[in-house]
Amino acid sequence: MTKDEHHARFDAWLTEHSAMLHHVVNGFAIGPDRADLRQELLLALWHAAPAFRGAARSSTFVYRVAHNAALTWSRSLRNYRQRIERFESLVPPSAAEPPVGGATESRELLDLLYARIHALPPVDRSLILLHLDGASYAEIAEIHGLTETNVGVRLNRLKHKLTASMQEISHELH
Amino acid sequence: MNFTDFESAWHSTHNRPTSAQLEHQKMEFIAELRRRRRGNFLFLILSGLPLVLFTILVVRHFVSPDPAHTPIDLSREWGLIPLYLLPWSGWIYIVRAHRCHCARHAHPDRSIHASVAALLDENRSERARCRFIAGLLLASLLVLPVLVLQLRAAGKAGDEIFVPFLVLFPAILLGIVGGIAVHYRRKLLPRQKELQALLASYDP
């Protein structure tokens, strides 16, 4: 793969899957950690791009790389503070990370949803994020190396759990 | 409130970056990539240069020996061989570990479960390598007195080599072993536990 092809593929993925990457970043990290995790995801995609042979759908490939990187992400504490400070200094106010919550109802719901997702164990978090992003059970099973039945069972349980906890919060608020 | 409500909120415009943010993220990433490449290059140059210079001096000594000095006889002064090879093996180990660290995402065609299992295997090998290198460095402490004896017997050194060979060099070696021990306990062991917990969460 030539350097130009590498750049072109990476750019195309970034544009096509920007929403999914945004979801993974917000689903696995909070606050300044998001900038660090985003860099990790982008680096993982950058390194993985030449390995894509087209055998799987590009979305499946990108999901797998991004979720893999997020699940195995461990901050390097030594340089961590330095990196966060550098990212913060790079971010102009207009391009700052949008708050997940906000004034609108949709934003409030998103805020609560992300909070509930953060409370889940890492693998369950990844499963629900993939499901919300529209990945099929077969795709999720392939990405995680689980059986479709197992994915179905776990997702049903997770959906009930999420709905119940969101309803509980909603009752408390109203 | 049901799951369909979450799905519609999920797919709303609030839950995706704007094109300006996306552009900014790309720029940020390119800057980070450049910084890492520069860092890797500097790391290889700075860590390898002293060893390359040292090797050039050794090769020059054998190819065109200085007539003012007695040439090295490796059958008598074989203690120099491990002393020469140890820094190179240490450098190769560090470069390998560094490359593994940089390519830690490199299992894109495996499932995440298989990838985590592979990372755990790599962690196990890395810990074994750490123990091996630390053992090797500690063993080289035993070579040093032998080397001092050989150099003194060959008449190439006097008492002046006691301090560098029996105090300074062992202190450096012990420092490196200490560094490896810290890396082992503070990075590799916690990482092993993290990966084991992740793998266990796949069990129903």
Residue in chain A lying closest to B118 (CA): A72
Asked whether the beta carbons of residue B194 and residue A74 sit closer than 8 angstroms, the reply is yes
Q: Measured between alpha carbons, how far apart are the two ends of chain B, in Å?
A: 29
Q: Measured between alpha carbons, how far apart are the two ends of chain A, in Å?
A: 57
Asked whether the beta carbons of residue B108 and residue A64 sit closer than 8 angstroms, the reply is yes
Residue bearing tokens 């961590």: A80
Query: Which of A167, A53, A52, A157 lies closest to B204 in space, CA to CA?
Result: A157
Give me the CATH number covering residue A144.
Answer: 1.10.10.10
The 10s digit of each residue's pLDDT in A12-54 is 999 999 999 999 999 999 888 899 999 999 999 998 998 888 7
Probe site for chain A from B3, B13, B18, B25 (most A CB atoms < 10 A): B25
Of A48, A87, A133, the CB nearest to B105: A48
Residue range(s) defining the domain that contains residue A155: 100-174
Task: Tell me how far CA of residue A49 lies from CA of A19, A53, A134, B26, B85, in angstroms.
Answer: 18, 9, 22, 15, 38
- Chain A positions touching B2 (Cβ under 8 A) are 163
Residue B200 and residue B107: Cα distance in Å, rounded? 20
Residue bearing tokens 């990290």: A29
- Chain B positions touching A72 (Cβ under 8 A) are 104, 115-116, 119, 195, 198
Minimal CA separation from A73 to chain B, in Å:
10
The 10s digit of each residue's pLDDT in A112-153 is 899 999 999 999 999 999 999 999 999 999 999 999 999 999
The full set of domain ranges for chain B reads 1-71, 75-204
Give me the CATH number covering residue A37.
Answer: 1.10.1740.10
With b for 16 or more beta-carbon neighbours within 10 A and e for fewer, the B148-166 pattern comes to bebbeeeeebeeebeeebe
**pLDDT value, residue A141:** 96
A 10 A CB-CB count for A48 gives: 23
Asked whether the beta carbons of residue A87 and residue B201 sit closer than 8 angstroms, the reply is no
B2 shares contact with chain A (CB less than 8 Å)? yes
The 10s digit of each residue's pLDDT in B87-121 is 788 788 777 777 766 665 556 678 999 989 988 99
Q: Are residues A61 and A33 in the same domain?
A: yes
Q: Are residues A12 and A77 in the same domain?
A: yes
Q: Are residues A18 and A83 in the same domain?
A: yes
**pLDDT value, residue A102:** 46
pTM over 0.80: no
Q: Are residues A165 and A133 in the same domain?
A: yes
Q: Are residues A61 and A5 in the same domain?
A: yes
Q: How many domains does chain A have?
A: 2
Looking at residue A36, its amino acid is: D
Q: Which of A51, A83, A98 is the last residue of a domain?
A: A98
List strand residue ranges (DSSP E) for A75-168, in order: none
Q: Which of A67, A98, A129 is the last residue of a domain?
A: A98
Q: Are residues A63 and A104 in the same domain?
A: no
